[in-house]
């Protein structure tokens, strides 16, 4: 079975989005997201980012699909012709994972990352495949219309990995801290 990790930035009121965008502008936090979801030990393999339709559409068009990663979009309403040919489309997380576990793809994959949105995060955290949660705790309340689901009690905070910045970070007057939880 292929495991996956989840990565999200979450503010104090559990918000993760507003009007199809991030409610904050934290360049260093975005760079952490990019570096973390691209990082791999075997350069012959690739990382996968799995996201819902709205998350994919919230990425600025000139940055879609996310570079240097296999992009997977979950949607019951899009058709393959709605996406670039190098983006994989599945109706749900389970069907995507079953395809990624097939030998022709599995041998080329190092890490799988769940990158949003709210419904995909909820489904992912309840899956036995979910290994770790990489959460940026933003120490500020933002006006949001999309929220991160409650983290199940089966996840416990662990120490940071060697690439995770330690302690409270600050940018644009906003403090945040990186946390890792493991099932």
Check 2, 12, 18, 22 and give the catalytic one. Answer: 22
d(CA 69, CA 15): 26
6 labelled catalytic: no
94 labelled catalytic: no
Query: What SS3 class is residue 37?
Result: helix
Query: What SS3 class is residue 27?
Result: helix
Alpha helix stretches (DSSP H) within the chain: 27-38, 53-58, 93-100, 103-106, 118-125
Check 29, 66, 83, 133 and give the catalytic one. Answer: 29
Query: What SS3 class is residue 30?
Result: helix
**Quick one: which of 107, 77, 108 has its CA closest to 90?**
77
Q: Which residues pair with 8 in a beta bridge?
A: 135
Q: Quick one: how far is CA 140 from the chain centroid?
A: 21
Collect all residues with Cβ–Cβ distance below 8 Å to 69 and sequence separation of at least 6. Answer: 37, 38, 46, 47, 48, 49, 113
d(CA 12, CA 137): 7
Name the residues annotated as catalytic: 22, 29
């Amino acid at each position: 079975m292929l495991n996956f990790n989840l990565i999200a930035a979450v503010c104090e009121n559990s918000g993760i989005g507003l009007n199809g965008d991030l409610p904050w502008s934290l360049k260093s936090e975005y760079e952490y997201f990019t570096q973390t979801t691209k990082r791999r030990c075997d350069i012959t393999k690739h990382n996968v980012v799995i996201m819902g339709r709205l998350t994919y559409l919230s990425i600025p068009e000139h940055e879609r699909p996310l570079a240097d990663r296999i992009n997977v979009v979950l949607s019951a309403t899009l058709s393959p012709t709605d996406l670039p040919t190098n983006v994989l489309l599945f109706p749900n997380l389970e069907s995507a994972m079953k395809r990624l576990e097939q030998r022709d793809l599995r041998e080329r994959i190092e890490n799988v990352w769940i990158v949003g949105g709210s419904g995909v995060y909820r489904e992912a955290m309840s899956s036995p495949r979910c290994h770790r949660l990489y959460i940026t705790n933003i120490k500020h309340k933002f006006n949001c219309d999309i929220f991160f689901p409650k983290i199940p009690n089966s996840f416990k905070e662990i120490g940071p990995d060697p690439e995770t910045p330690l302690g409270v970070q600050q940018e644009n007057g906003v403090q945040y801290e990186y946390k890792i939880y493991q099932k």
